[in-house]
Amino acid sequence: MREINGAEIILEILQEHDLNTVFGYPGGSVLPIYDALHSYREKIDHILTRHEQGAAHAADGYARCSGKTGVCIVTSGPGAANTVSGLMTAYMDSTPMLVITGQVSVNNLGTDAFQELDITGVTDSITKHNYLVRSIEELSDLLREAIYLTENGRPGPVLIDIPKDIQTSKMSYDNFQNSCSSEYNTVSEYKYIYEKPKKNETDEFIEMIRKSKRPVILAGNGVMKSNSSKELRKFSKKFDIPVATTLLGLGILPAEDRYNLHMLGMHGTAYANYAADEADLIIALGMRFDNRVTGNIHRFCKDAKIIHVDIDEAEIDKNKRADLHIVGDVNLVLKALLKYKAEGENKVWMNRVMELKKKYPLDRNFSTDYILPQYLISKISELTKGEAIVCTDVGQHQMWTAQYYNFNRINSIITSGGAGTMGFGLPAAIGAKLANPNREVIAILGDGGFQMNSQELMTISEYKLDIKIIIVNNSFLGMVKQLQEVFYEKRHSFVKLEKNPDFVMLGRAYGIDSYLAETPVELDKLLGEIFSKKRSALVNCIVSKEENVFPMIPGGKSVDEMIMSKEEL
Amino acid sequence: MKKYQILVIMRNRPGILSKVSGLFSKRGFNIDGITCGVSEKKEHFRMTITVIGDESFVEQVKRQVAKLIDVVKVQILDEKKVVKRELALIKVKSDSENRLEIIKIVEIYRAKIIDISHEALIIELTGDSNKVEGLIGVMDKFGILESARTGISAMHRGI
Ligand SMILES: Cc1ncc(C[n+]2csc(CCOP(=O)(O)OP(=O)(O)O)c2C)c(N)n1
């Protein structure tokens, strides 16, 4: 009788779900899985990162631009613990991700055995769900359920902890095959049903649009996740409604689209923030009124009625009370709304919006003989026509990327929005490139955050991934420096990175073509060069140290306290 | 501010209690009480969670709890239709002098004395929280040595 062991079951089920790129790092309690990976190497690509955090972020980046679940395999204890930042990041941004952790054998559970960690306990609050598998019989059901959960309803990370002896236990292949679905369907009482919105809901929706004079759409990650870019574009045009997006919503409309107000919130464009503030109707689609978006929640869009569409019912009324809500998939809601007749244009409001756009553009005065970070991003945007996948780290460079990169395509900004995890950008770019070998992938990083996962340069080099690595080097933990300037009377406390390694030498040590750019002229030449080649490159861009991100609505404040430039500080 | 009872039915999987209590601490919700045990189906656990707050607060609690994957059903129990009971064990100082007085009070409350020693006795009471608090209030003057309350279990009347 043919038999199959737990480790093989795991790989069979990954394959069954077409998940054949996995990121990971081996160790004692996943040895059986790694042994099986050796036999499955024709069918499953395993990418060895240099740190488990890198593996988790890479799986996240992979998921964000492939639409598939990102998979990460790590060993128990320290290996599992190293995925915590990755799980939190994925959880906050609703990335479908599966983390498989090895665990000590069942009979050692709870004994503080070598490398034992109660990882389900640790990750309860940063996973959509997690499991500790207790027998080989339940392994396949739980694993299938786990994968199902990652992507169904509101996506999110799921962790499954599998003791080593379960990886080596065997069952008959026939039993494994027959175990499919029957119980798994009943176990999974969680079934997100994608239903069309009810007619009375969409009737009321349209009625509220008709009654409003100054509607604004706020589009978030949910619009991206439900693949609704096309529908949103049609909808905003048909009903003549401008669209502001969250950080993760960038790219939902092409940058130049007339209706696109770009990002709103703390470092959003002034015109998006003013438009939202003047609105009498806010149509929030797949966004959750995060405080980086709203500032002072009580004063946010205080004169507006609010319609909230979200797949997660718990988001309704969580931060901001909605006058009408629809729980469901944004795509189905938009499709239903598109069936209604529009009342024609709303010239007065659109004129006002255009006026705001004209009056408060982003500052584009770049004529300096040193490199302005804003110039750097604009240049990259220009060179790649806003078509690249841009992975960022966290900090000022992230906000400048959001402001100055003209995102023209969906799933193109890969950034830690909800969690703000430094160290995310470089490994995420690895996942992004593997998911999209044919698109240009750029990692834009601060000199601080780059050093949090710079070991992943080796992964890029080893797998010959064509990733352009841009270090926005201001010798500061820039964003924190900015906060100290605004809130702590410019007392710079431990934010200066006086001693950085020589990034060019560092890049070269990992086998990556690396360059230094200190002036705009050098920069132009270098960027032109690296983007013309299909191989990875690193550019250490020395940018001005003084620059801060504007506009800025200081945390907890509202639009009327927006700071437009350093002169206003 | 009001007390609400939320009924939660969950799959009987390892760790469900910590998933629920973890959710409460993560969201900063206060639990006023929680009771938990097997339901009419052995694969399901039944919990009655008591929270204090306004309507929008319990609604948010309900939605967050409903999000837990192991949760099969959540319902905010309707004050008008609900039967609520709590079990309390109260150990009271008692000697031969006041024993009779205590026994009389216990009878009035339809509680039971389930243990007597020279210096103390243990009273068992089931009832709604008002009744439990009432008895505890009266017993106070004799000297309560220990009291253990289960928290509220609740169920809707009818079908
Ligand atoms: C893991 C982690 N630690 C600390 C922070 C707090 N933090 C936010 S931005 C920032 C500074 C980032 O500096 P750098 O990477 O140089 O980027 P810059 O802001 O200069 O562009 C810090 C320390 C964080 N977001 N993540």
pLDDT at A269 over 80: yes
pLDDT at A548 over 80: yes
Residues of A in contact with B64 (CB under 8 A): 314
For the segment A446-468, the average pLDDT, to the nearest whole number, is: 98
pLDDT, chain A, mean: 96
Interatomic CA distance for residues A305 and A24, integer angstroms? 47
pLDDT confidence of residue A182: 47
Ligand 1 pocket: which of A267, A422, A450 to mutate (most atoms within 8 A of CB): A422
Q: Per-residue b/e over A449-470, b at no fewer than 16 CB within 10 Å?
A: bbbbbbbbbbbbbebebbbbbb
Give me ligand 1 centre to Cα A105, in Å. 39
ipTM for the complex?
A: 0.90
> Which of B18, B59, B72 is nearest residue A124 as measured by Cβ atoms?
B18
Strand, coil or helix: B69: coil
Where residue A181 falls among pLDDT bands split at 50, 70, 90?
low
Percent of chain A with pLDDT over 90: 94
Give me ligand 1 centre to Cα A90, in Å. 18
pLDDT confidence of residue B30: 86
> Which of B15, B68, B72 is nearest residue A120 as measured by Cβ atoms?
B15
- Are A184 and A145 contacting, i.e. CB atoms less than 8 angstroms apart? yes
pLDDT confidence of residue A188: 55
Interatomic CA distance for residues B4 and B79, integer angstroms? 8
Interatomic CA distance for residues B17 and A262, integer angstroms? 43
- The answer, yes or no, to whether the previous bond of A551 is cis (omega within 30 of 0) is yes
B positions 26-65 inside 8 Å of A (CB): 26, 56, 59-60, 63-64
Alpha-carbon distance B113 to nearest alpha carbon in chain A (angstroms):
41
pLDDT confidence of residue B7: 97
Measuring CA to CA, which residue among A486, A496, A499, A493 is closest to residue A551? A486
Give the C-alpha distances (Å, rounded to integers) separating A420 from A543, A549, B36: 22, 16, 37
- Are B56 and A317 contacting, i.e. CB atoms less than 8 angstroms apart? yes
Give the CA dihedral A72, A78, A83, A85, nearest 10 degrees: -170
Kindly state if the Cβ of A446 falls inside 6 Å of ligand 1: yes
Where residue A569 falls among pLDDT bands split at 50, 70, 90?
confident
Q: Is B138 exposed, middle or buried (CB count within 10 Å of its CB: 0-12, 13-18, 19+)?
A: middle
Residue spans of chain B under pLDDT 70: none
Interatomic CA distance for residues A142 and A166, integer angstroms? 13
pLDDT at A560 over 60: yes
The nearest alpha carbon in chain B to A186 belongs to B11
**pLDDT, tens digit, 9 for 90 and up, residues A43-64:** 999 999 999 999 999 999 999 9
Residue A80, H or E segment: helix A78-81
pLDDT at A471 over 50: yes
**pLDDT, tens digit, 9 for 90 and up, residues A398-417:** 999 999 999 999 999 999 99
